[in-house]
A = this chain, B = another copy of it.
Amino acid sequence: MAVYTDVSEEELATFLDAYAIGTLLSYKGIAEGVENSNFLLRTTGGTFILTLYEKRVKREDLPFFLGLMDHLAGKGLSCPLPVARRDGSLLGELAGRPAALISFLDGAWMRKPGVGHCREVGRALAEMHLAGADFSLARANALSVDGWRTLWENSRDRADEVEAGLGAEIEAELAALEAQWPAGLRAGVIHADLFPDNVFFIGERLSGLIDFYFACNDFLAYDVSICLNAWCFEPNGSYNLTKGMALLSGYTSVRPLEPAEIEALPLLSRGSAMRFLLTRLYDWLTTPAGALVVKKDPLEYLRKSRFHRSVTRASEYGLPADALQS
Contact = CB atoms under 8 A, between A and B. Distances in A.
Most buried by B among A6, A10, A108: A108
Nearest to A43: B106
A116 interface: no
Copies in the complex: 2
Contacts of A29: 1, 30-32
Chain A contact residues, majority secondary structure = loop
A108 B9 contact: yes
Contacts of A10: 112
Nearest to A289: B290
A284 to B, nearest CB: 13
A112 to B, nearest CB: 5
Interface in A220-255: none
A8 B112 contact: yes
Interface of A: 1-3, 6-10, 12, 23-32, 40, 42, 105-108, 110-112, 200-203, 289-290, 292
14 contacts: A1-B1, A1-B29, A2-B31, A7-B111, A9-B108, A9-B110, A9-B201, A12-B108, A24-B202, A24-B203, A26-B106, A29-B32, A289-B289, A290-B290
